[in-house]
Amino acid sequence: MIVESIITTLGPDGVAHIAPMGVIWRDDQPILAPFRPSTTLDNLRHNGGAVINHTDDVRVFAGCLTGRRDWPLMPAEQIDGRVLQGALAHQELRVDRVEEDEQRPRFHCRVVHEAAHGAFRGFNRAQAAVIEAAILVSRLNMLPRDKVEREMAYLEIAVSKTAGAREREAWEWLTARIAAFYRGAAAESAR
Ligand SMILES: Cc1cc2nc3c(=O)[nH]c(=O)nc-3n(C[C@H](O)[C@H](O)[C@H](O)COP(=O)(O)O)c2cc1C
């Protein structure tokens, strides 16, 4: 199973990095699979640890994809790492081994500490739609424009019917990013 999560890592300078990632869970062991090149990958190699954060504030997912990475963090308990302050739960990891790959190395990890901070308040379709839209935004360079527009039109139905204020804000950030991307692409091709 893959669980869409917020991964926090620390760089050599001690600077925290935050990125959405799909964590692969196999036999209760998490595997992180960052594409090359990425800061998360460099930090995992350097520090050998990471934190998986679970949040229902989908603005963190949308924010990381739209230049808003400044989310409040607090120190992890058992590793040299940072925990997202709004997380409902988190897991602290140590890397056991790295499976090298040209495109996407896999970091097989072990959970050394976990904690719950808040209650799960149930499923919301707009939250799922924002996460799907964030994935589309992370792949704008690779996906055909008509696919992106078709899928956004479908996802927008769940947002308009079920979103709260946080989901609406996250949705606006993502739609603005997509519009800016295609405006930039149009300007490029007119040159
Ligand atoms: C829900 C979601 C899941 C993602 N999962 C992954 C992943 O498993 N691996 C990856 O490399 N990028 C993934 N991405 C894209 C990264 O978050 C994004 O490219 C990020 O900037 C990673 O690079 P960085 O560590 O340099 O910030 C995902 C994005 C979203 C919205």
Q: Is the dihedral of CA 155, 136, 140, 142 positive or negative?
A: negative
pLDDT for 77 equals 98
Q: What is the pLDDT of residues 17-39, one digit of tens each?
A: 999 999 999 999 999 999 999 99
- 106 Cβ closer than 6 Å to some ligand 1 atom: no
Residues 64 and 18 sit within 8 Å (Cβ to Cβ): yes
**What is the CA(114)–ligand 1 centre distance, in A?**
22
- 34 Cβ closer than 6 Å to some ligand 1 atom: yes
**Tokens 């669980």 sit on residue:** 3
Choice from 3, 10, 32, 38 to test ligand 1 binding pocket (greatest atom count within 8 A of CB) = 38
Q: What is the pLDDT of residues 67-90, one digit of tens each?
A: 999 999 999 999 999 999 999 999
Above 90 in pLDDT, residue 185?
Answer: no
How far from 177 is each of 64, 134, 155, CA to CA, in Å? 12, 10, 16
Q: How confident is the model at residue 188 (pLDDT cuts 50, 70, 90)?
A: confident
- 154 Cβ closer than 6 Å to some ligand 1 atom: no
- 162 Cβ closer than 6 Å to some ligand 1 atom: no
Question: pTM higher than 0.75 for the full model?
Answer: yes
Q: What is the pLDDT of residues 102-160, one digit of tens each?
A: 999 999 999 999 999 999 999 999 999 999 999 999 999 999 999 999 999 999 999 99
